[in-house]
A = this chain, B = another copy of it.
């Protein structure tokens, strides 16, 4: 008796992993969502998917006052060469908005460490102008600011988060225009800020 007939709800019978439960689960979990057999159902019997399409944390970011000093401390702690840090980008490229309004002065310096197969530790030094980064520094001081998730269809995902009561505090493009980000204040429900990241397909 095949797994399908014994209860496997997957309809993708042509998948190379079909009938190989552990392979299937590992594959889905690694992509950040559950296989059909593990998905919850809503009241209408429809499978529930993650709001963002996945639940993979790809970055943990720390707001710092002096990126040069802190990146050197982390590099020594990790036994690696200090990464080059760089400017978040020119407004002509980033088109940063803060609380929905153009924020040409908002800026930061950035540095990244790889701290796992799918995770970066990010350091962010705000530039003193109003931004979601500066707000945090002014309110909380230096510390862990957000966790980030990769998404597709940014506008749709931001709207989905807003429909849950999250507040989109800042959006913009990467400094090299290769993608875009959005920050959501999810402190009411998730007790943290989250960032959505979307790299543009090449």
B-binding residues in A (CB < 8 A): 29-30, 32-34, 39-40, 48-52, 55-58, 60, 62-64, 70, 73-74, 76-81, 113-119, 121, 140, 142-147, 164, 187, 189-192
Contacts and interface: CB of A to CB of B under 8 A. Distances in A.
5 contacts: A49-B79, A51-B76, A73-B190, A143-B191, A143-B192
A67 B71 CA distance: 33
A79 B191 contact: no
A145 B64 CA distance: 15
A102 B78 CA distance: 31
Nearest to A48: B79
A125 to B, nearest CB: 11
A51 B114 CA distance: 16
Copies of this chain, how many? 2
A38 B117 CA distance: 17
Contacts of A81: 40
B116 A119 contact: yes
B60 A147 contact: yes
Contacts of A140: 140, 143
A51 B77 contact: yes
B119 A55 contact: no
Contacts of A118: 116-119
A91 B80 CA distance: 39
A189 B147 contact: no
Contacts of A79: 33-34, 39-40, 48-51, 55
A142 B191 contact: yes
B143 A29 contact: no
